[in-house]
Structure 1
């Protein structure tokens, strides 16, 4: 099992709009297809920074969920374009992490 920590940079001054879109559209859409979103955060030190986490059982599940979400017509035609309009895509950082044996996030 592993987590994916995704750090985004919202377009300047648009983080509140981004958080609303994530919470009202992106997360419910992805969850409806089986994605396990485990956390959503605003960066206290960067007014346009946003971080969220997703959990995967293994690489096979991650690949299947990526396909379900990112190959979906709704993502391609509606959600994806909105996401790319609210974020600065080239500033996205994705980190995969595995919990340590004593981590509560097992």
Structure 2
């Protein structure tokens, strides 16, 4: 599977406008052409950001699905309204699975207004090659013992971008792991000193709450 972790920078105060539009017009219409819309979130630390995750079976299917969606009727009808909410849409990590699996819940129906109370934390490391084995052997168990077990892990997918009309970040090696807490108050941060010498940049933590129609809940 190929995953995209997308994080849009929005115009001030426009997040709810985009979320409403996205959940009404861009969920089923992406899935109809073969895109797995996995999760949409509010970023607790940035009210003008919209992070979300989607997936594809492989890079060839990604090209076909994105071509179908972005030339299709839903995007053509609503793209101006969506783009009007955004400052930047190029913060996109192309990822492959590197351990674990994101659990899925049934998607609430259109018009559902109640979001889940859970908190998802995506931690992004910039790393050197070989980090995956180090994380699995020496880090994951320490995180679990501290109350933040990694639910799923991902690493940079270095395949050529098969749909260049949508840029992705290149020239970097990242490792991303997700933790889930039942409530925001349950969040924990575990210090793993051995990580310091393995990272090439400071880690980044995205504290995410699911939107009403996210299948990550």
Shift of 1:10: 1.9
Shift of 1:80: 1.4
The structure with the greater share of residues assigned to helix is: 1
Shift of 1:91: 4.9
CA–CA distance in structure 1, aligned partners of residues 11 and 33 of structure 2: 27
Q: 1:66 to 1:42 in 2, by over 3 A?
A: same
* 1:104 aligned residue: 101
Q: 1:34 to 1:86 in 2, by over 3 A?
A: same
- Asked whether the equivalents of residues 29 and 74 of structure 2 are also in contact (C-alpha less than 8 Å), the reply is no
* 2:81 aligned residue: 82
5+ long unaligned stretches in structure 1: none
Q: TM-score, normalised by structure 1?
A: 0.87
Q: Which has the larger radius of gyration?
A: 2
Q: Which has the higher contact order (CA 8 A, sep 6+)?
A: 1
5+ long unaligned stretches in structure 2: 103-151, 153-217
Q: TM-score, normalised by structure 2?
A: 0.44
- Asked whether the equivalents of residues 26 and 79 of structure 1 are also in contact (C-alpha less than 8 Å), the reply is no
* 2:174 aligned residue: none
User: What is the aligned residue count?
Assistant: 103
Helix, strand or coil for the counterpart of 2:69? helix
CA RMSD of aligned residues (A): 1.6
Shift of 1:55: 0.8
Which stretches of structure 1, 4 residues or longer, exceed 3 Å deviation after superposition?
none
CA–CA distance in structure 1, aligned partners of residues 50 and 100 of structure 2: 23
CA deviations 1:18-47 (Å, max 9, x no partner) are: 111111111222122221101111111001
Shift of 1:104: 1.5
* 1:46 aligned residue: 46
